[in-house]
Amino acid sequence: MEETEEEKKDEADYKRLHSFPLIRHSDMPEEMRVETMELCVTACEKFATNNESAAKMIKETMDKKFGSSWHVVIGEGFGFEITHEVKNLLYMFFGGSLAVCVWKCS
């Protein structure tokens, strides 16, 4: 089933409209949250077709900046239950339906 030009245009408009990061939950301090959010946006834009590479980039950068034991999950349509250190969790959406969860667990 082929997409019509109208459907492609609607999808492009939707992605453009939802290209800002939307924080769903975070208990990080303000400065750390802003840095992490910008890092997530950069990684997701750089590796738009490869979530694994984007997650690896985020994890390695967070390990260098804020100490080791960071975990990152990026994708669409997943569920999870995690244990994390207090003030070290960010759960956000980017590009409409792409979810990014970053947390530290020692």
Asked: is 1-102 a CATH 3.40.50.1820 domain? The reply is no
What pTM, to 2 d.p., does this model score? 0.80
Please say if the pLDDT value at position 12 is more than 70.
no
- 3: its two tokens: 């997409």
Q: pLDDT tier at 24 (50, 70, 90 boundaries)?
A: very high
**pLDDT digits 0-9 by tens, 62-73:** 999 999 999 999
Contact 87, 28 (CB under 8 A): yes
Distance of CA 36 to the CA centre of its chain: 9
Provide the residue ranges of all domains of the chain, joining segments of one domain with +: 1-102
**pLDDT digits 0-9 by tens, 39-90:** 999 999 999 999 999 999 999 999 999 999 999 999 998 888 889 999 999 9
